[in-house]
């Protein structure tokens, strides 16, 4: 398999790179927003760290069932489930919900990101120049994780708030 054979692979790789860049952004922004989250929810650093703990638990949960899911769900369906789980994550986080919902959102995001990461690594590993495309893939994550703290802090400093008020 190459970038041009079949011809739609070019668009698939572009979609994968956009996805991984957004994944890097969703992983990179919370650290920069830590002080804002502490004051917004009136909680301390230890409690805010639950978002990373539950994100990791989501990854572990997917790792525990990945082999079994692969036998009952097609790769195409895995992409759909991955996207649905990420949608749930953002639906819980973006409105500035209760902190428990935000933590739950990061759990679902962890499962979705683990699922998408594994599927897309498998997809890119089948290419003729797999190391090149896997390098782009992981570089895309790095770009997202690098720029998102800058964007997130600029948004907070500009006075932008969440869609909902607590």
**DSSP string of 146-161, one letter each residue:** HHHHHHHHHHHHTT--
Residue with tokens 């970038």: 3
Question: Which pLDDT belongs to residue 51?
Answer: 96
Q: What is the pLDDT of residue 97?
A: 86
pTM above 0.85, yes or no: yes
Query: Quick one: pLDDT band at residue 159, thresholds 50, 70, 90?
Result: confident
Q: Is the pLDDT of residue 18 over 60?
A: yes
Rounded CA-CA distance 82/115 in Å is 6
Percent helix, strand, coil in the chain (nearest 5)?
80, 0, 20
More confident residue, 87 or 75: 87
Between vectors from CA 89 to CA 97 and to CA 104, what angle results, nearest 5°? 65
What is the predicted pLDDT for the residue at 158? 86
């Amino acid at each position: 398999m190459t970038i041009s054979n079949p011809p739609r692979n070019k668009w698939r790789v572009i979609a994968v790179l956009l996805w991984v860049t957004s994944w890097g952004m969703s992983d990179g922004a919370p650290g920069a927003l830590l002080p804002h989250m502490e004051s917004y929810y009136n909680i301390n650093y230890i409690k805010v760290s639950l978002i990373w703990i539950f994100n990791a638990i989501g990854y572990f949960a997917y790792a525990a069932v990945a082999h079994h899911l692969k036998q009952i769900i097609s790769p195409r369906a895995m992409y759909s489930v991955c996207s649905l789980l990420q949608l749930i994550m953002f639906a819980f986080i973006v409105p500035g919900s209760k902190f428990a919902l935000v933590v739950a959102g990061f759990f679902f995001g962890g499962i979705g990101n683990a699922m998408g990461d594994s599927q897309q690594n498998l997809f890119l590993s089948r290419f003729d120049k797999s190391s090149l495309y896997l390098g782009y893939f992981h570089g895309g994550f790095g770009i997202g994780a690098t720029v998102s703290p800058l964007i997130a802090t600029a948004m907070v400093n500009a006075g932008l708030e969440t869609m909902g008020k607590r």
